[in-house]
Structure 1
Amino acid sequence: MEPAQSEMSILPNGKSHDLAEEIFDDPEGATAESEEFLPTGGGKKPVRFTDFEGKTSFGMSVFNLGNAIMGSGILGLSFAMANTGILLFLFLLTAVALLSLYSVHLMLKSAGVVGIRAYEQLGQRAFGTPGKMAAGIAITLQNVGAMSSYLYIVKSEFPLVIQAFLKADDTSSEWYLNGNYLVVLVSVCIILPLALMKQIGYLGYTSGFSLSCMVFFLTAVIYKRFQIPCPFEDYTSNVTDVHTVSNISLVDHGHAYHNAHMDDDSHCGPRLFTINSQTAYTIPILAFAFVCHPEVLPIYTELRNPTQKRMQNVSNVSILIMYTMYFLAALFGYLTFYDKVESELLHTYSRIDPFDTLILCVRLAVLTAVTLTVPIVLFPVRRAIQQMVFPTSAFNWLRHVAIALIILTFINMLVIFAPNILGIFGIIGATSAPCLIFIFPAAFYIRIIPKDKEPMNSTPKIVAMAFAALGVLFMFMSLSFIIIDWTTGSSNAGGGH
């Protein structure tokens, strides 16, 4: 289908109708949304993708999109700042946030022209079946990789948190200290019930709680900035009984320690601009800090009184909140440890005091936030599978539940039996993420927006082409760093989202 034809449809009465005009006349976009892709229900009012009218409030939609953006990558942003400097980090973070907003704008404008609110069907409208399959496969791979990384965090970190709280011995073989059991327990008791909900909008409550956990994390990072002296000592290497570390007060001993190590505080100062061997590795991490694009259109579908402007405002508020949290977490984490910060911020705190109750609570809060993000990420995968395999079928509870069970079972098996699979998903993420964020939105926009409204040589389409080219650049950059890491045996390129 040529892009110029995508704005027109033939109604049952044989008249030609402009879909773009219809959407502006009908903010709900119900009639347009049913064209070619949705059943009309035998002459009744056309149904939406989820067979219900959007009822999710603006605030709940912000929570859901914010939770989709927020990932474990926030733990590595202080390390990124240490290798870029405060000003360069702020510039890069701002640029990425603006690029993400522009990407969402392209998606929403394309969806508004053709009345479609599913990523895969935008692909079909732009490039036919290959476009739909490419979008569906990219969403599936990207989100399965994200869910696997989240559950791998649960598997590796949850036993350590329980062990620290219980002061259990390292050699303890209790079942509740086995990460494999814990990841299955969390999947069955928490993730699966949430993933079985019919609408993603209902997850707004758990998303709000998840974001509250990350606010707690941010508060603790800011608080610790004023509690930990610089230079700090790795106390765990200087005590015979590691359990006695919990009795050490960094505040009490900080002054004496500082006096004893005055010649070792050369690193205790912020750098505004830094270029080193690690700097290039941080750029892909920041580039994917706002990955949420597979979730944008499902959230748009369920938004109450959905309009392009309203959904754009949801995206603006979500990205602004995450931008603020990202910068504050990176800044205060960096100002605590400076160039001694590790690629995983919480590990740096544990080096000082592995039994610090506040940091243990923070680790538990981060685990909770990561766990509650999994159902949000699972919804687009299920939708992508349904669009690829059952594109014309009405909603069915059995299929809805079965797909969720299969996805979670598959991910649990990966996490339990193939822990090194994260390296493979690093490659997948380096290819699928640029496609979902940069290349696909730009390509769909160029194909879907009619040429008579925006010619190929128009400024918006030239900018969109440059945006797609930027995505290709990020893809090759990320793949290059991963390959360099594999060939050199290092692990410099940290994970992103």
Structure 2
Amino acid sequence: MSPAIGAHAPLLPNQEPQARSPSISGAVFNVATSIIGAGIMSIPATLKVLGVIPAFLLIIIVGLLVEVSVEFLMRFTHSGDATTYAGVMKESFGPAGSVATQICVMITNLGCLIMYLIIIGDVLSGSQPGESVHLGVLQEWFGFHWWNSREFSILFTVVIVMLPLVLLRRVESLKFSSFISVLLAVIFVGICSVMAIIALVQGKTKNPRLMPQLDEQTSFFDLFTAVPVIVTAFTFHFNVHPIGFEFGKPSDMIKAVRIALVLCAAIYLAIGLFGYLLFGDSIMSDILVNFDKSSDTATGTVLNDAVRLSYALHLMLVFPLLNFSLRANIDEFLFPKKPLLANDTNRFVTITLVLLVFSYLAAIAFPNIWYLFQFLGSTSAVCLAFIFPGSIALRDVNGIATRKDRVMATTMVVLAVVTSIIAISINVYNLFQSK
């Protein structure tokens, strides 16, 4: 058997063998919550880089490839003895495959958790990118005080909101918070849509570019830097096994994933278009920062605050879901021979607290989410989303791959590797050029 991590470690303790099977709707909300995360914040910025049409096509293509990769993961996992992502990679590539998966999950999830806290800090206490200053909601309401500083507001959120949720030991326990989190994301998109339509009627919208603008500052290869952002926005593969193996049939998980992908793609397309219409090329890497501008009306001011707060609350509820798989992989990586994490309260609480403290300190130290998105999307996230699932299908240790599977897997791996290499090369080049 493969290592007992993911679904069987912190999520399904032995003392609950008769736990009720989860519903497809609950899985849809958990999957959608895992997908949306912080990715929605940088989707409008990708439209600024790519133009509307290429960005929309990229969102759809990545979504379709994600569906294929999840189907690969579920089908090839069920064909063997593994019950986890690291387990199926171990069956295909030995211990090195398991370790590579665990490291990528840890990097991706920890990076996402840090991004969530950065965005929450932006909303509550503002940010200062370059010479411009963007006030947070608390600063607009109450002025500048020690208790609404970035450090204190994030700390308060971590202790009061997130800590009780990350101490839950079963992913199904989060279905209600996941439902609320998806609802908040829909409310966020709805408010943005209303604001964009009002601005459109009043003739105040920006003119979006349908195609990318290539000039002396922007080359064709610069466009590839937006690809990792979209990849990261759709990466949830670290939660495929924890959520999927609570079902009796893999087909139920595939159905839930398809519904969630359609929902998330629609949300991404809507927020990308309406966000770009509202702010045009002045849009920030974190779109919530753009909503700090004062409005001419009281209604406009309320809408601005509602947009930011609804998504900050959404991220607070997403945080525990990603923490599950991160904590499970860290425990398996560091303590492979220890008893199940769910049965060891001291170890469970210690790892949880260490993760919260580290995420908090990193969120204070890192100011910009765009660079984190690009780094994750070009490295660990692209491995989890495309390279590893495609490689599992090509390896086919149980002999179930069809010719179509091999063609799709090869295409997926080649596209992922080529785009990631180009994106990393351009980012490194731009970094040295800016010095």
Please give the TM-score of this superposition, normalised by the length of structure 2: 0.85
Shift of 1:129: 1.4
Choose 1 or 2 for highest CA Rg: 1
Match of 2:271 in 1: 329
Secondary structure, in 3 states, of the residue corresponding to 1:288?
helix
Q: Does 1:302 align with 2:246?
A: yes
**Of the candidates 265, 268, 273, which is equivalent to residue 211 of structure 2?**
273
What does 1:60-459 align with in structure 2 at a 5 Å threshold? Answer: 60-159=26-125, 160-166=136-142, 168=143, 172=144, 174-228=145-199, 268-276=206-214, 277=218, 279-303=223-247, 306-351=248-293, 353=295, 356-392=301-337, 393-394=339-340, 395-396=342-343, 397-417=345-365, 426-451=374-399, 453-454=400-401, 458-459=403-404
Q: Which moved more, 1:477-486 or 1:289-298?
A: 477-486
Shift of 1:91: 1.5
Aligned partners of 1:165 and 1:360 also within 8 Å: no
Aligned partners of 1:153 and 1:367 also within 8 Å: yes
Shift of 1:290: 0.8
Q: Which whole-Å CA distance do the structure 2 matches of 1:423 and 1:339 have between them?
A: 18
Q: Which whole-Å CA distance do the structure 2 matches of 1:401 and 1:420 have between them?
A: 30
Aligned partners of 2:36 and 2:234 also within 8 Å: yes
Q: Which whole-Å CA distance do the structure 2 matches of 1:330 and 1:94 have between them?
A: 13
Shift of 1:448: 4.0
Task: Identify if the C-alpha distance between structure 1 residues 146 and 438 changes in structure 2 by more than 3 Å, giving closer, same or farther.
Answer: same
Task: Identify if the C-alpha distance between structure 1 residues 268 and 434 changes in structure 2 by more than 3 Å, giving closer, same or farther.
Answer: closer
Structure 1 unpaired stretches of 5+: 1-34, 40-47, 231-250, 259-266, 491-497
Match of 1:247 in 2: none
Q: Which whole-Å CA distance do the structure 2 matches of 1:425 and 1:336 have between them?
A: 23
Letter matched to residue 271 of structure 2: A
Aligned partners of 1:144 and 1:411 also within 8 Å: yes
Shift of 1:407: 1.1
Aligned partners of 2:192 and 2:275 also within 8 Å: yes
Task: Identify if the C-alpha distance between structure 1 residues 374 and 454 changes in structure 2 by more than 3 Å, giving closer, same or farther.
Answer: closer
Shift of 1:224: 0.7
Task: Identify if the C-alpha distance between structure 1 residues 352 and 183 changes in structure 2 by more than 3 Å, giving closer, same or farther.
Answer: closer
Task: Identify if the C-alpha distance between structure 1 residues 209 and 78 changes in structure 2 by more than 3 Å, giving closer, same or farther.
Answer: same
Secondary structure, in 3 states, of the residue corresponding to 2:234?
coil
Letter matched to residue 317 of structure 1: I
Shift of 1:71: 2.3
Task: Identify if the C-alpha distance between structure 1 residues 480 and 50 changes in structure 2 by more than 3 Å, giving closer, same or farther.
Answer: farther
Shift of 1:295: 0.8
Q: Which whole-Å CA distance do the structure 2 matches of 1:109 and 1:416 have between them?
A: 41
Aligned partners of 2:394 and 2:409 also within 8 Å: yes
**Pairs aligned (count):** 406
Please give the TM-score of this superposition, normalised by the length of structure 1: 0.75
Q: Which moved more, 1:322-331 or 1:347-356?
A: 347-356
Shift of 1:426: 5.0
Letter matched to residue 404 of structure 1: T
RMSD over aligned CA atoms reads: 2.8
Secondary structure, in 3 states, of the residue corresponding to 2:233?
coil
Shift of 1:357: 1.7
Q: Which whole-Å CA distance do the structure 2 matches of 1:279 and 1:352 have between them?
A: 33
Shift of 1:425: 7.7
Q: Which whole-Å CA distance do the structure 1 matches of 2:286 and 2:254 have between them?
A: 32
Aligned partners of 1:141 and 1:432 also within 8 Å: yes
Task: Identify if the C-alpha distance between structure 1 residues 81 and 196 changes in structure 2 by more than 3 Å, giving closer, same or farther.
Answer: same
Match of 1:483 in 2: 428
Q: Does 1:466 align with 2:418?
A: no
Shift of 1:406: 1.4
Q: Which has the higher helix share?
A: 2
Shift of 1:128: 1.8
Q: Which whole-Å CA distance do the structure 2 matches of 1:281 and 1:420 have between them?
A: 15
Q: Which whole-Å CA distance do the structure 2 matches of 1:428 and 1:345 have between them?
A: 19
Aligned partners of 1:284 and 1:477 also within 8 Å: no
Aligned partners of 1:69 and 1:289 also within 8 Å: yes
